[in-house]
Structure 1
Amino acid sequence: MTTVGRKSGAIYTDPAAPVEERVTDLLARMTREEKLAQLGSAWAFSLIEGGQYSAERARAVLRHGLGHVTRIAGATSLKAAQVARVANAIQRFLVTETRLGIPAIVHEEVCSGLMAREGTIFPQAIGVASTWEPELNRRLADAVREQMRAMGSHQGLSPVLDVVRDPRWGRTEETYGEDPYLVARMGAAFIRGLQGASLAEGVIATAKHFVGYGASEGGLNWAPAHLPPRLLREVYLYPFETAVREAGLQSVMAGYHELDGIPCHANRELLGDVLRGEWGFAGTVVSDYFAVEQLHSYHHFAGDREQAAALALTAGTDVELPATDAYADALAGAVDAGEVGEEKLDEAVSRVLRHKFELGLFEDPYVDEGAVAAVVNAERHREVALETARRSLVLLKNDGILPLRPGAGTIALIGPNADNARHLLGDYSFAAHVESLAAARERQGLLGQMMTVPDDLETEESTDGLPTVRDELTARLGDRVRFAPGCDVIDPSRDGFDEAVAAAAAADVAVLVLGDRSGLTTRATTGESRDRSSLDLPGVQEDLVRAVVATGTPVVAVLVAGRPVGGDFLHENCAAVLSAWLPGQTGAQAITEVLLGEVNPSGRLPISYPRTVGQIPVFYGHKVSGGRSHWHGDYVDSPVSPRYPFGHGLGYAPFAIELATLDRAEVTAGDSVTVEVTVANTGDRAGEEVVQLYIRDPRATVTRPVLELKSFARVSAGPGRRAAVRFDLPTGQLGFYDRDMNYTVETGQIEVYAGFSADNRTLAGTFTITGDADRPRAGKAYTGTVSVGEPPQVTTSPA
């Protein structure tokens, strides 16, 4: 094979040349086949045989080059050093055995850490959002970046920026919750951590799923989303816009679903007019897995693969993942037939090449195989995972039973998630995905029809060595802990009830660890395509709760789950309820520390907690006319209010707002208002609280939500101590899309509230916006500044 090397003097091989010149030079040298190859991808296992890189397979798959390699770590059973070795071998073939020597981008799933056999498993995103601490999410993503780069991968398929207000949807766990501002702040922090200071040392972040995927009809995966234009702009597009404009996002993944009759992968208004035209996005749009072909087979929007390829590329979908189903012969046919212009092909290829230059792949496509072990799942990364897990736990209810006191007697530890480390992990953990690949190998369902999985895939759960709640609690309390599982997560058998009831009856307190099993297979109760019509605990767990409560022993419920779960009986009759979400590999330690009071719970809900499925959607930012204040107010059979409000969470140290003031009563559009809030720890131990800043526009030319989150800050204080929070609130944050769909900051009055949840707040004051009533889009602001300090201390007696 003749290659174009540096001796040829080609501009694209010169690292000192500007990136755009290198892209232009390389593009001009490429054949049609080489261009098409850059828009395609290949599963890693198509290049591996017997756990080793296969040169024979590589020659067939990579002869014209390749855009992306799909999941060397996440779709095989390889250990970290083996992943790096295979990555190097693939790049070596591309660099030395193809005509132009163009390296590939290796992408991986990173929803709860790098999805790799030895990667650190962080809490799932809904738990990360519960920390209300963007900087912690940046550190998490920075750890993921280090591990990915060490293994030879360059693009992570995260963050999920879907706003979700229907927890029936199985992917609720992958999101940052219901509020666009919180989602935007957490997502932007993740992007900054993953992409780093520059892509030369960073990893491309891929925000998904563009857009409205979490608003699906009936809470069903892949279902249409019914979103009017203003709601789409103000809520669902907002986190993506923030990511592009504020965080420098480099990649977007389109959603599987359709909006107003147009599948997202073929939606030129979204991908072209809004994303690239209005926002100036210059990165790549990648397809969700199999979604280009699905324009034909699933949506019936295209007559065949050729038309599907033409529609997707014309709309702005640059790269087809996870394998090249339509962007090969079908796309070539579409170009030949004039269904898509050659210039569209060149635009997409240019964007892919630009990323490869910016990643430094032409200069340094290889990784140090001997250095991988020191980076992957390093102790510093496990510490971030533990800190995140600790701060993600939300104490929903507590009648004083928690923390469990030293010497408080025996504890009956019960429930299907009490002694199973696998159940602590999210749907995009490695253990979950080897299960889904194994199911695909057995040809079960649509996934199995779309892919081929190698027979040498090892399908063990890969959770050896990860501690369970039973392990952690027993390590501290010894034989004071009496364990009985009681039942399975989904199995209907009650055979273990008698043992569990006997253990509870003989104990001083019963700790029930209940909830979900996350994944993509039929064994899972939450996760991608694992949508539910009920929010009760799956299986017979609700009956187990009733049986244990009937013993009269006080019950603490720990919910290990991917969404709000649990029926009325559980939440009304348990003495305490702790939401642990899916806390990852260090989750058992974090749960135990909170139960025993070693750590003060400080997580806060990023999503309103429904009482029943019949309330859905229930979210705090509804309209005044949203039915919550009609003639009778409540439903006939249930309150309209959520069980626990957005932002809610208890701790072992209560806080109170002592002062909340504005620095002015009038401000010109384009300026800012300063909000000063003083909070006091009124308890007898140190604690943390999240101060939340909300606004309300009581009268506008377009009706507004009753509340809108505009800032927040996590504060800590010792017993009897205070903390001062200063919020800078730009008026550019307070606009909306007017009747002509222009972003506008209107004159008028704004109410400002500070509090600890959407339902626990105090009025800080009101101010009036004066001046220009029609601020242009350029006047939009995405966030203000926040500072936390100490006011002059006046010690108060602890409550």
Structure 2
Amino acid sequence: MTLEEKAGLLFHSMVVPGPVQQAQPAFGLASTAHMVTGQHLSHFNLVGSIDDPAATARWQNEVQELARRTRLGIPVTFSTDPRNHFTDNAGVAAAAGGLSQWPEPLGLAALRSAELVERFADVARREYLALGLRVALHPQIDLATEPRWARIAGTFGEDADLTSELVRAYLRGFQTAQVGPGSVSTMTKHFPGGGPQRDGEDPHFPYGREQVYPGGRFDHHLAPFRAALDAGARQVMPYYGMPVGTEHEEVAFAFNHGVITGLLREELGFDGIVCTDWGLITDTQIMGQDMPARAWGVEHLDELSRVERVLAAGCDQFGGEARSELVVELVRTGRVSQERLDVSAARLLREKFLLGLFDDPFVDPEHARVTVGRADFRAQGEVAQREAVTLLTNDRGLLPLGRGLRVYTEGIDPAALDGRASVVGSPEEADVAVLRLEAPFEPRPGGFEAMFHAGSLAFAREELDRVLAVCRTVPTVVDVHLDRPSVLPEIAAAAGALLVTFGSSGPALLDVVFGAASPRGRLPFDLPSSMAAVEASRPDVPFDTADPLFRFGHGLSYD
């Protein structure tokens, strides 16, 4: 291989299906054709919704044809962020589109079933394979020990033992017993655990760059990763954050030799692929918002030195980057050896061979059409959506509701009632109210930054008073969609029934409310009793908020 060909392997860029000769200005990228044939890139994160699986398969085959015509014919590995849930945040997940739709990982955790998680992963694997997606940029196995963190929805919650059990099942479903042409390789993240963020802020942004361990629980956050490595995790992604107050250097994990080589490679014995999180080298724009490179702790370094530092730390790939010329320059100037590149290139090529991409990288568009979003796949996801609904209170047995009531609703499409009740326009006219609320957060500016729900977990006073007024007027069922814990003591006391959901459609929720399905969920984390308790807790310590309103594992049922 030439130096340029090796360098191209080390970049895992983004790509949007479309004309392969057309530049991609939304991400500041050249055309797909140029990245494949000119820059020798062969790993791409597919972004955007997949609404036409056959068209996506045809486009993927076109890209593979481009790759086959290069000098070595190295096939492309396509990856994706999670696609089978409800979250649609350009920084962390993609809309389900045509794929089957299941609860968020929090909802899978609420069901406490490794068998269900493996079944989910197997279904997602088959849909990914039909589309030509061979790397899952998940699971996310950070522990939700800081309740304010904006990434909790993608986790399995607060408990290390439950997360460890579920990640083993997740990997079995995606990778299969023997990694091969029928497998989807998983990129487990975010090593060494992205949960303990200072004040719950996220290190996508400069003000959230610090991970702190006032409780001395750094090793506790490693437990799920030990389980994942034991279960055969193929790839690992370090997080953006920088450890503060530990034995490790205070630089972001992907730049951190002690964390990547000392801990992950040497102590834990991992010889798979390590790919950085997205955008550590190049300043860019996302959704019109300026985004500095997340080179926390080494912001002073130029781009060339950042690349050198990541390679020296022990990483193999640069996520979200397409700057192969920087690696070429480092080698030509003697700052990085060819031998160092060979180590990472060998890992990356080995994965392509094991996945069978060198034998046949193409997919059948007709198979994609009939497989992605198959009726039985959708049905399984919908059952899980209903079962993951978690019932916290049910005063005097208000739920399930009977048919024929006059119902006042908020946050629900009246059509989803499906004739079970009549809709009225005010609480005063109703026999019962059903309110569907989003978990509270403090809005942030910017197109991209605004997608991260951070800050206070308590409802604003005006919104809280409005909800409580409805509860005082009529018996009220309240559902709160939790993408992270919420502070709910007043609502819990006033509502006739309080439900929480982790990715369930309106019809799924109403089936539970009217008794066509029973809630089976159990909380995957504590729900704090106040923001004062949250602010006093230690972000690295699980179950550390004083006197929680509801404990991990709480949940009622109709049975």
Normalised by the length of structure 1, the TM-score is 0.61
Aligned partner of 1:236 among 218, 221, 227: 221
**Number of residue pairs matched by the alignment:** 524
Equivalent-residue separation in structure 2 for 1:402 and 1:603 (angstroms): 18
Q: Deviations over 1:266-298 (max 9, x none)?
A: 112221122222222222111111024466765
SS in 1 for 2:319: coil
2:364 aligned residue (365, 368, 373) = 368
Which residue, out of 385, 388, 393, partners 1:392? 388
Q: 1:318 aligns with which of 306, 316, 319?
A: 316
Pairing partner for 1:143 from 123, 127, 132: 123
The higher relative CO (CA closer than 8 Å, separation ≥ 6) is in: 2
The one of 470, 484, 492 equivalent to 1:571 is 492
State the distance in 2 between where 1:263 and 1:343 align. 25
**In structure 2, what is the equivalent of residue 545 of structure 1?**
467
Q: What do you get for the CA RMSD once the two structures are aligned?
A: 3.0
Q: Which amino acid aligns with 2:475?
A: P
Pairing of 1:33-52 with structure 2 (within 5 A):
33-45=4-16, 48=19
2: CA distance between counterparts of 1:561 and 1:476?
A: 28
Return the alpha-carbon distance in structure 2 between the equivalents of residues 324 and 75 of structure 1: 19
Counterpart secondary structure, 2:44: strand
Choose which of 537, 555, 558 in structure 2 pairs with 1:649.
Answer: 555
Question: Shift of the alpha carbon at 1:219?
Answer: 0.3
For the 8 Å contact 1:542–1:567, the answer to whether it is kept is no
Corresponding position of 1:458: none
d(CA) in 1 for partners of 2:97, 2:235: 25
For 1:204-256, what per-residue CA distance to the aligned partner results, in whole angstroms no more than 9, with x for missing partners?
111111123211001000021112796211x21110110001x1111111101
Deviations 1:25-59 (A, max 9, x none): xxxxx000000011113332387369999xx9444
Segments of 5+ residues of structure 2 without an aligned counterpart are 25-29, 86-93, 245-249, 283-291
Percent sequence identity over matched residues?
28
Secondary structure of the structure 2 residue equivalent to 1:543: helix
String of CA shifts for 1:490-523, please: whole Å, max 9, x gaps.
xxxxxxxxxxxxx211211111111249999859
Structure 2 residue aligned with 1:152:
132
Q: Secondary structure at the match of 2:100?
A: coil
Correspondence for 2:195: 214
Q: Which has the larger radius of gyration?
A: 1
Give 1:582's match in structure 2, choosing from 489, 503, 506.
Answer: 503
How far apart, in 2, do the equivalents of 1:517 and 1:123 lie? Answer: 19
Q: Please state whether the residue corresponding to 2:151 is helix, strand or coil.
A: helix
In structure 2, relative to structure 1, the CA distance for the partners of 1:516 and 1:199 (3 Å cut) is: farther
Contact 2:386 2:508 (8 Å CA) reproduced: yes
Paired position in structure 1 for 2:35: 61
Name 1:735's counterpart in structure 2.
Answer: none
Does the C-alpha gap of structure 1 residues 618 and 227 become closer, same or farther in structure 2, counting only changes over 3 Å? closer
Quote the residue 2:71 is aligned against. Answer: 99
Counterpart residue type for residue 342 of structure 2: D
- 1:609 touches 1:645 (CA, 8 Å); kept in 2? yes
Residues 84, 99 of structure 2: 8 Å contact kept: no
Q: Mapping of 1:144-543 within 5 angstroms?
A: 144-197=124-177, 198-222=179-203, 223=208, 224-227=210-213, 231-233=217-219, 235-245=220-230, 247-260=231-244, 261-293=250-282, 299-325=297-323, 328-407=324-403, 409-413=405-409, 415=410, 417-419=411-413, 470-473=414-417, 475-478=418-421, 480-482=422-424, 484=425, 503-516=426-439, 529-532=452-455, 534-537=456-459, 540-543=462-465
The CA deviation string for residues 126-166 of structure 1, in whole angstroms up to 9 with x for no partner, is 11111111111111111111111111111011111100122
Helix, strand or coil: the match of 1:603?
A: coil
**Match of residue 591, structure 1, among 509, 513, 522:** 509
Q: Following TM superposition, by how much is the alpha carbon of 1:317 offset from its aligned partner in structure 2, in angstroms?
A: 1.6
- C-alpha distance in 1, partners of 2:108/2:155? 9
Whole-angstrom distance in 1 between the partners of 2:116 and 2:493: 33
Alignment check: 8 A CA contact 1:161 1:208 kept: yes
CA contact (8 A) 2:487 2:531 kept: no
Query: CA separation in 2, counterparts of 1:164 and 1:378?
Result: 33
Q: Does structure 2 retain, via aligned residues, the 8 Å contact 1:395–1:603?
A: yes
CA apart distance, 1:590: 2.4
Alignment of structure 1 residues 707-746 onto 2, 5 Å: none
Q: Which has the higher strand share?
A: 1
Q: Is the 8 A contact 1:519 1:526 kept in 2?
A: no
- Report deviation, 1:472: 2.5
State the Cα distance separating 1:78 from its structure 2 match: 6.1
Residue 376 and residue 78 in structure 1: after superposition, are their counterparts in 2 closer, same or farther (change >3 A)?
Answer: closer
Q: Do the aligned partners of 1:109 and 1:115 also contact (CA within 8 Å) in 2?
A: no
Q: What is residue 134 of structure 1 aligned with on the other side?
A: 114
- When residues 253 and 610 of structure 1 are mapped into structure 2, their CA distance, relative to the original with a 3 A threshold, is same
Paired residue secondary structure (2:452): coil
The alpha-carbon deviation at position 543 of structure 1 amounts to: 2.6
Matches of 1:388 and 1:296, distance apart in 2: 36
Distance in 1, matches of 2:181 and 2:113, equals 27
Q: Is the 8 A contact 1:135 1:189 kept in 2?
A: yes
Unaligned 5+ runs, structure 1: 1-29, 420-469, 485-502, 629-639, 654-799
- Structure 1 residue 652 displacement after superposition: 1.7
Deviation, 1:530, is 2.5
Name the CA distance, whole Å, in 2 between partners of 1:267 and 1:133.
Answer: 36
User: Matches of 1:188 and 1:213 in 2, distance apart?
Assistant: 19
- CA–CA distance in 1 between the matches of 2:448 and 2:31? 37
Q: CA 1:84–1:621 in 2, change beyond 3 Å: closer, same or farther? A: closer
3-state secondary structure, aligned to 1:270? helix
Query: 1:771-786 maps to which residues of 2 (within 5 A)?
Result: none
Aligned residues of 1:52 and 1:86 also touching (Cα < 8 A): no
Distance 2:226 2:106 in 1: 21
